[in-house]
């Protein structure tokens, strides 16, 4: 199964962006792991606050956590930029973490049921969000259970997409882009008894309007529909950054989503499932607000 979708033609801009990214990540890859992570945190904090995304971050925090004062929101924003910067530079050292033994940096709890499903060749879905370093999830769980098929949104630059694909190639089963081609890959993986992970907290422009921090947010229903179609469990999984480039992954007991009829799931069935998922994501983010990706416009303007 291919790891990514077919490459698109590269523009000059794409080539220049890819060259700059390649040079930067090449430099980070030569540093000690903790040094590369620390550089990312330093850059994230200092460059993040200069970007337009910093205003988005503070706006999101004000709307999602209105009980906090401005100083608290500024602290969370600083921590979020630190986490984001670290996560970006840690891409450069993920292959080394994988080769040299991820157990020195990642601890995992609650994975036994997931591993049993994998050993029995039974399909399962996993959901998480952009919390901690979400890339640690397939690294550890792919080893403890079986390699995961990652559902992801490809970067706009195909060359950067290819770079990320090369990083993930050693520890994933496949990378399924959010597209018709990716949809077929997901179906094939589940039919073959595979494990598929989705990060379901990103902004989309369609889907169901599901509450998230008290405000409706467009939420993709695919994971609920797939779980009902294949009658397979859904495992909530999250990654928490502990200190520097060290993490803890929690695999929670599996959920089962049932249909109210014997036929196609109703919108009410899917809405109930996605409401439960969004509520769990919100719980995780409230526990570790400085580790979520507050920089994107999760909610439509005016909500």
Give the pLDDT confidence score for residue 64 in this predicted structure. 96
User: What total of structural domains would you count in the chain?
Assistant: 1
In a domain, residue 1? The reply is: no
- pLDDT 10s digits, 144-182: 999 999 999 888 888 888 888 888 888 999 999 988 999
Give the pLDDT confidence score for residue 26 in this predicted structure. 92
* Beta-strand pair 247-251/234-241: antiparallel
CATH number at residue 246: 3.40.1130
- pLDDT 10s digits, 240-284: 999 999 999 999 999 999 888 777 889 999 999 999 999 999 999
In a domain, residue 126? The reply is: yes
Residues of the chain above pLDDT 70, percent? 96
- pLDDT 10s digits, 6-16: 455 688 888 88
In a domain, residue 251? The reply is: yes
In a domain, residue 80? The reply is: yes
In a domain, residue 6? The reply is: no
pLDDT above 90 for 237 = yes
3-state helix, strand, coil in the chain (%, to 5): 50, 15, 30
In a domain, residue 5? The reply is: no
> Considering the entire predicted model, what is its pTM?
0.92
DSSP code of residue 208: E
Give the pLDDT confidence score for residue 41 in this predicted structure. 98
In a domain, residue 182? The reply is: yes
Which residues lie below 8 Å from residue 284, measured CB to CB, with a gap of 6+? 129, 131, 238
For residue 80, the enclosing domain spans 12-291
Which residues lie below 8 Å from residue 263, measured CB to CB, with a gap of 6+? none
CA atoms of 89 and 39, how far apart (whole Å): 8
In a domain, residue 56? The reply is: yes
């Amino acid at each position: 199964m291919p790891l990514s979708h077919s490459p698109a033609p590269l523009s000059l801009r794409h080539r220049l962006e890819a060259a700059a990214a390649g040079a930067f990540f090449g430099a980070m890859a030569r540093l000690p792991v903790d040094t590369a992570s620390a550089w990312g945190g330093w850059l994230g904090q200092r460059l993040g606050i200069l970007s337009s995304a910093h205003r988005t971050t503070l706006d999101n925090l004000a709307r999602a956590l209105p009980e906090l004062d401005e100083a608290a929101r500024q602290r969370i924003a600083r921590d979020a930029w630190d986490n984001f910067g670290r996560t970006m530079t840690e891409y450069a050292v993920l292959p080394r973490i994988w080769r040299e033994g991820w157990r020195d940096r990642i601890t995992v709890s609650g994975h036994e049921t997931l591993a049993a499903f994998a050993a029995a060749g039974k399909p399962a879905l996993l959901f998480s969000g952009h919390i901690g370093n979400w890339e640690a999830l397939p690294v550890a769980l792919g080893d403890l259970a079986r390699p995961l098929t990652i559902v992801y949104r490809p970067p706009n630059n195909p060359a950067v997409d290819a770079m990320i694909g090369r990083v993930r190639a050693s520890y994933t089963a496949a990378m399924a882009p959010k597209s018709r081609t990716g949809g077929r890959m997901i179906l094939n993986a589940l039919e073959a008894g595979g494990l598929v992970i989705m990060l379901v907290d990103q902004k989309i422009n369609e889907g169901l309007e599901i509450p998230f921090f008290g405000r409706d947010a467009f939420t993709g229903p695919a994971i609920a529909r797939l779980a009902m179609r294949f009658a397979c469990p859904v495992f909530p999984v999250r990654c928490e950054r502990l200190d520097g480039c060290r993490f803890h992954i929690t695999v929670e007991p599996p959920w089962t989503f049932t249909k109210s009829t014997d036929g196609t799931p109703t919108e009410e069935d899917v809405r109930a499932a996605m409401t439960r998922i969004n509520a769990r994501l919100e719980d995780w983010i409230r526990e570790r607000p400085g580790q979520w990706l507050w920089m994107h416009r999760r909610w439509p303007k005016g909500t």
